[in-house]
Amino acid sequence: MAPKKGSGSTKPKVASSKIKNIKESSKQKKNASEKKQLRRNNKQDDKGNGTKGKKGVPVPETPERELTEEDFAMLDENSTSLQFLAKVKPDELTKKVEKGPRPEIYDQRPSKEDDISSDEGFDSYDSDEGIDYSNDSDQEQDYELRPRSISSWNTADSNRLPIKTKEGHLHAVKEDATEAKEQDDQEEIESEDSSEEKEEERASEDDTSNVPSVEEPQIPPRQQIQLDKEELASFAQKLLEEPEESLHVFKSIFGKFQSPLITTKKLSLLTALAVFQDLIPGYRIRPLSDEEESTKLSKEVAQRWSYEQTFLKHYMRFIEILEFIFKSYPSLENDVQKSLYEVAVRCVSRLIEHVPHFNYHDKLLTLAVQQLSHKSKRNNFDMLMKSLGTILKEDNLGRVSLDCVKLLSKMFKHRNYDVLPDVYDLFLNIQILSDMELKDSSNEPTKLKKRKQDRPHLTKKARKTLKETKEIEKEMKEADAVISAEDRERFQAEVLKMVFLTYFKTLQARSKLLGNALEGLARLSRLINVEFFGDLLQVLRELVLDDNMLLAEGKPAVQTTREALLTVSTAFEITSAPGVNKLNLDLDLSIFIQRLYRLILPFSLNPDADLTYKVNRLRDPDAPTKKTVVNASTQMEMILKCYQSFFFKSKSVSPARLAAFSKRLAISSLQLPEHSTMAAIALLTRLVSRYTKLHRMFTSEEQIGDGIYQPFVEDPELCKSSTAMLYETFLLKNHYSPTISRSANGLFKVSTE
């Protein structure tokens, strides 16, 4: 209790009066009511700020009272112990205590040798001289944060039980640090590599000395491979004999994959592939729903289900391994490692081909498509291509085709349509669209919804039973697994949509694969919906116009002759497609006609105009060997097709155009190789027999027309073709090939009839 003073005066008081005060204070302690007053005084002091020194503790105000005799008696009794009171200065007592500077020792970290773990360790902090306690925050000090380390706690280095020696003493077995590490490592290894674990444990037990790395005893690789082969063979046999019992054998096969020898890895993959090919059931394993898992099952069914689920898990693991190999392809250096890649590719392609109905087929397809998406052909590229082609061709229902097409389209889009042309041509293999017909939606009778009154009246029970029977029927249908026509049509529609979208986007992107896209489009031209048709024509027109502009400026066209031909022929095919007739409109494709007209002369100078595998012509030894694409049409064939659709299929042809094109065809027939010349003459004969106006082009007696024929004007209307003469027939009569001269004669005869 601080001595109370009425005012903040610092007048020194006589000791006796002090003592007097103290006596008073000691008495007051017992007085509860006085206490309350103290508290009140305290509060008043706080508010009034009366007795507070500058840095002082607020002093409670208490009224002074006289010292009684009892007080004196107490003082006399304890005089020796109360001597200090003489030295006490009341002001100092109220003064706020300043802490000294923080002792350094607080901030020192305990070194390892300092075993502070002993209980009396903190005595060293008792020397308080010159200590600054200014940091009296409530935060934890550093010394509090240091962990306690008690040496006795660290004695249990080894998990081993103590050993009794011969003499009967117990002592703890100390393990080596390395062996402890090994144990940790072992725990981190995946459970799949159980075989490897066993090997390591065995090795560690053998090693009594501290060898940091565990090595198997050196077996020569050949022997090792032999051993592995035998082991794998035994695994495979076990699996095939009793699949239900021996699913864990898969783990050992995958364990073999972890071996450092590449041959072993390959062997393990191939074993797994063979086993899977045999073991995969003919149905798709459905993942179990929760409620099915919880219901009580008969033993057989439960066994079957658990077998299926574990089988699926192993299959998944296999696929993951393959994925891992694919991902690590960029880091493979030499051919030996790449052969592992080849094996993986083979596995994937086989699985795709043989088990398209099974689970994870889409995952396999994703992997395959990823491998095809690279700019350069990787090993075993052909195998993948073949397998994908096969599944597309053999697909009857369409689901597999749809998955495949979806993935391929996505990949093309991702690569901005800059893929290998072989991959792009995979679309040509799609068989499911071959028998599809364009559905005319307007021809279908519109189903009027039955009015409410017309619906048959069913009671609630009847409705419920009807619903249930419908559901059961649905399930039964599924079990039948008959390819319903509706599903097939649905898949066809989806596939068609995706394929068209891809082609369209390729055209818009002006990628290098324009030709392939156009060819694909030409094949599917009869299926194009009328709405697409306008946009498609627009894109084709733009393609032609760009080239026209370049040609007009004298620059070479961007498109090759083949691509331009494809553009024009596609445009013609589209407009002559059956669905377009609905428009009742005959479109005059003047731009495309112009382009075709422009094409003919440069095309005629191409010696490969009709190069197919059928032509018996010696190959040019200097030319780079090009792979002959069997199903692509030659340029001559395309020109014939264009002429066909333009002159024979459309209803009316302007005579100027007719004459112009015939003249150009005749000119080109003098330059083309043999087969093409044959074809050109045949075409001319047909034209002349169909259009009698052309007869006057063979005789120069009737003179009609204005001006001279301009052979180099690139517009069929402006070249004044009405004055042209087809003298080429005379020249062709003297052709070296007898068939050609005979047909030229025939043409001449027709024209003079």
Binding site for another protein (CB under 8 A): 534, 537-538, 541, 583, 585-591, 651-652, 654-656, 707-708, 717-718
Helix ranges (H only) for 395-512 are 399-414, 421-424, 460-480, 485-508
Give the nearest distance from C-beta 590 to another protein in angstroms: 6
Give the nearest distance from C-beta 293 to another protein in angstroms: 58
Closest CB to another protein among residues 232, 507: 507
8 Å CB contact between 52 and 45:
yes
Give the nearest distance from C-beta 709 to another protein in angstroms: 12
Closest CB to another protein among residues 305, 691: 691
Closest CB to another protein among residues 57, 713: 713
Give the nearest distance from C-beta 727 to another protein in angstroms: 22
Query: Please, is 598 exposed, middle or buried when counting C-beta atoms within 10 Å of its C-beta (0-12, 13-18, 19+)?
Result: buried
Give the nearest distance from C-beta 312 to another protein in angstroms: 54
Give the nearest distance from C-beta 452 to another protein in angstroms: 35
* Alpha-carbon dihedral sign for residues 649, 653, 655, 659: negative
Give the nearest distance from C-beta 705 to another protein in angstroms: 12
Closest CB to another protein among residues 198, 649: 649
- C-alpha to C-alpha distances, 390 to 309, 419, 428, nearest whole angstrom: 29, 20, 12
User: Phi/psi class of residue 95: alpha, beta or left (left: φ > 0; alpha: ψ in -120 to 50)?
Assistant: beta
| Residue 455 C-alpha from the chain's centroid | 50
Give the nearest distance from C-beta 500 to another protein in angstroms: 20
Give the nearest distance from C-beta 586 to another protein in angstroms: 4
The full DSSP string for 4-58 is P-SSS------HHHHHHHHHHHHHHHH-HHHHHHHHHHHHHHHHHT-S--SSBPP
Closest CB to another protein among residues 458, 583: 583
| Residue 389 C-alpha from the chain's centroid | 23
Find, among 262, 276, 419, 425, the residue nearest to 328 by Cα. Answer: 262
Give the nearest distance from C-beta 551 to another protein in angstroms: 14
The Cα 202–Cα 360 span in angstroms is 38
Amino acid at 436: M
Q: CA triplet 218, 223, 228: central angle to 5 degrees?
A: 100
Give the nearest distance from C-beta 569 to another protein in angstroms: 16
Give the nearest distance from C-beta 691 to another protein in angstroms: 13
Closest CB to another protein among residues 549, 725: 549
Residue in the block written with tokens 């090792």: 224
Residue in the block written with tokens 């073709």: 721
Closest CB to another protein among residues 296, 651: 651
Q: Which DSSP helix (H) or strand (E) runs through 171?
A: strand 170-171
Closest CB to another protein among residues 183, 590: 590
Closest CB to another protein among residues 10, 581: 581
- What is the three-class DSSP state of 386? helix
Give the nearest distance from C-beta 553 to another protein in angstroms: 13
First-last CA distance in the chain:
146
Beta bridge partners of residue 95, listed in sequence order: 56
8 Å CB contact between 427 and 408:
yes
Closest CB to another protein among residues 162, 578: 578
Tell me the two tokens of residue 462. Answer: 């009847």
Closest CB to another protein among residues 445, 707: 707
Residue in the block written with tokens 């209980």: 119
Closest CB to another protein among residues 131, 656: 656
Closest CB to another protein among residues 458, 708: 708
Query: Please, is 533 exposed, middle or buried when counting C-beta atoms within 10 Å of its C-beta (0-12, 13-18, 19+)?
Result: middle
Q: Which DSSP helix (H) or strand (E) runs through 163?
A: strand 163-164
332 HSE (CA, 13 A, CB side): 18
The full DSSP string for 599-641 is HHHHHHT-TTTT--TT---PPPTTSPPPPPPTTSPPHHHHHHH
Q: Which residues of 25-51 are buried (b: 16+ CB within 10 A; e: fewer)?
A: bebbeeeeebeebbeebbeebeeeeeb
Give the nearest distance from C-beta 508 to another protein in angstroms: 17
The Cα 433–Cα 521 span in angstroms is 12
Closest CB to another protein among residues 135, 654: 654
8 Å CB contact between 682 and 674:
no
Give the nearest distance from C-beta 658 to another protein in angstroms: 10
Closest CB to another protein among residues 458, 587: 587
- What is the three-class DSSP state of 510? coil
Residues 6+ apart with CB under 8 A from 259: 224, 228, 265, 268
Closest CB to another protein among residues 534, 624: 534
Give the nearest distance from C-beta 655 to another protein in angstroms: 6
Please give the sequence-ordered ranges of beta strands (E in DSSP) within 300-443, or none if there are none.
none
Backbone angles phi, psi at 629, to 5 degrees: -90, 120
Give the nearest distance from C-beta 542 to another protein in angstroms: 10
Closest CB to another protein among residues 433, 591: 591
The Cα 273–Cα 254 span in angstroms is 12
Amino acid at 26: S
Beta carbons within 10 angstroms of residue 152's beta carbon: 7
